[in-house]
Amino acid sequence: MLGYTAKRILMLFPVLLGISMVTFLIMCFTPGDPAEITLRALLDTETPPKEAVLELREEMGLNAPIHVRYIRWLDRVLHGDLGYSFQTHRSTLDEIMLALPITIKLAIVSMLLSILIAIPIGTISAIKQHSLVDNIGLIGSLLTVSIPDFFIAILLIIIFSLHFDIFPVAGYGGVEYWFLPALTLAISMAPITTRLTRTSMLEVLRQDYIRTARGKGLAERMIIRRHSLKNALIPVITYIGLQFGWLFGGTVIIETIFALPGIGRLLVESIYTGDFLVTQGCVLFIAAIFVFINLVVDVSYIFIDPRIRYERET
């Protein structure tokens, strides 16, 4: 297993290289001169002084051909230098380190909330198929999966902040600020997890070994807890892992609505303001996190399902 993990970690490098190359190319083919876009955002004017644009082009190294620029960038990254933001003159690493903790907290809290909503509902829906809980779960899932997350966010703000005045509308501070953004994300992530849990659970409950377990007179609770749920959760965990990876960078709308300066917002703002070193840095980080989470998910199967072993292929 150690060998497998090591191999997966080594695989990270070609993956990141490929991703960085693709991002670099996309950025190069996007219309507009990054120096001009940067100054437009920095100075808040449509027409930045031409002298300043020329100087910044030089500083950004835009006068060199694409492949030279990419190699220069790569060289610096390999030496641990991700460059700096042209908007704030802070290093890309500083920018990411300001934003990442916010997104990590948001991702963890919303993931937990989502699991808390999805797995009980999914399990009960499977055990008591066509019951009231199952039907409510179905309707709820359909509804929440169809409503865009920004709308859910606004509804939650109206209910919890304006009407009941329990949580603050937006901002970043104590724990009370995390509840609404996390709940919004949880509500929009939960439906698919719920349905997946239900389907997977139904499938497991029809297996022979469950019938055997029942036949030998095992208590129903025991069957559900030890024999069914654990097996049914394997696909669910894969999906939750993917969702968790998506949360890094995928939460930009929620981060914008709740005024949380997380990594999704950093990425999107860097694209809008021509801050390409920050864009590249964010993409690298997000990709690395995504790959890492996938690895953790794959490794976690071993703990859930002892049949799965990652043997060295010979």
Partner 1 sequence: MMKIKLNTIGTWIALVTILGVIAFSGCMDKEGTNTEKIEVEKNSGAPQELTIGSPWAPKAINPYSGGSYILQRNCIVETLVSIDYKGKLAPGLAESWEVSEDGLAWTFHLRKSVKFHDDTPFNVDAMKSSLERAMEEAAVFKSIPIASVETKDDHTLLITTKEPFAPLPAYLTKGESAPISSSSFDENGKFLEPIGTGPFKFESWKPKEEIRLVKNDDYWGTKPKLDKVIYKGIPEAITRIMMSKAGELNIAQILPPDAVKGLESADNIDVSTKSIGRVRLIGFNMKREPFNELKVRKAVNYAIDRDALVKYVLEGVGTPARCLFPPEFYWANTDLNGYTYDPEKARNLLEEAGWIDTDDDGVLDKNGKPLEITLLTYTERAALPPTAEMIQSQLAEVGIKSELKVLKCDAASEMKKAGEFDMFLVGRGLLFIPDPDSIMMEDYHSIHGVDGFLWYGYHNERVNELIDKGRVTMDIEERKGIYDEVQKLVLEDAPIVYLNYYVNIDAVDSSVHGYQMHPNEYSFHLENVYIE
Window of 7-15, 65-73, 87-95, 125-133 that interacts with partner 1 by CB under 8 A: 87-95
Residue 167 interacts with partner 1 (CB under 8 A): yes or no: yes
Window of 6-14, 18-26, 156-164, 290-298 that interacts with partner 1 by CB under 8 A: 156-164
Q: In angstroms, what is the minimal distance from the CB of 175 to partner 1?
A: 5
Tell me whether residue 148 or residue 215 sits nearer to partner 1 (CB atom). Answer: 148
Window of 32-40, 190-198, 206-214, 241-249 that interacts with partner 1 by CB under 8 A: 32-40
C-alpha 106/C-alpha 179 separation (Å) is: 9
Residue 307 interacts with partner 1 (CB under 8 A): yes or no: no
Helices (H), the chain: 2-29, 34-43, 50-60, 66-78, 92-127, 132-146, 149-156, 179-205, 208-215, 220-222, 230-250, 252-257, 263-272, 276-304
C-alpha 25/C-alpha 116 separation (Å) is: 41
Window of 81-89, 125-133, 140-148, 198-206 that interacts with partner 1 by CB under 8 A: 81-89
CB atoms within 10 A of CB 282: 28
Tell me whether residue 16 or residue 302 sits nearer to partner 1 (CB atom). Answer: 302
Residue 238 interacts with partner 1 (CB under 8 A): yes or no: no
Residue 261 interacts with partner 1 (CB under 8 A): yes or no: yes
Tell me whether residue 263 or residue 291 sits nearer to partner 1 (CB atom). Answer: 263
Residue 9 interacts with partner 1 (CB under 8 A): yes or no: no
- Footprint of partner 1 on residues 34-73 (CB under 8 A)? 37, 39, 42-52, 55-56
C-alpha 84/C-alpha 275 separation (Å) is: 9
Residue 263 interacts with partner 1 (CB under 8 A): yes or no: no
* H or E, element range at 166: none
CB atoms within 10 A of CB 297: 18
110 within 8 A of 243, measured Cβ to Cβ: no
9 within 8 A of 294, measured Cβ to Cβ: no
Residue 128 interacts with partner 1 (CB under 8 A): yes or no: no
Residue 165, classed as helix, strand or coil, is: coil
Residue 304 interacts with partner 1 (CB under 8 A): yes or no: yes
Task: Give how far Cα 261 sits from Cα of 97, 101, 113, 168, 266, Å.
Answer: 11, 10, 21, 16, 7
Q: In angstroms, what is the minimal distance from the CB of 74 to partner 1?
A: 26
- Footprint of partner 1 on residues 169-228 (CB under 8 A)? 169-172, 174-176, 178-179, 225
Give the bridge partners for 84, in sequence order: 91
One of 29, 165, 307, 311 touching partner 1 (CB under 8 A): 165
CB atoms within 10 A of CB 216: 7
Tell me whether residue 140 or residue 261 sits nearer to partner 1 (CB atom). Answer: 261
Task: Give how far Cα 132 sits from Cα of 117, 129, 162, 220, 225, Å.
Answer: 16, 9, 32, 20, 22
Residue 82 interacts with partner 1 (CB under 8 A): yes or no: no
In the complex, the residues that contact partner 1 under the rule CB under 8 A are: 30-32, 37, 39, 42-52, 55-56, 87-90, 98, 109, 112-113, 115-116, 119-120, 123, 154, 157-158, 161-162, 165-172, 174-176, 178-179, 225, 229-230, 233, 256-259, 261, 265, 302-304, 306
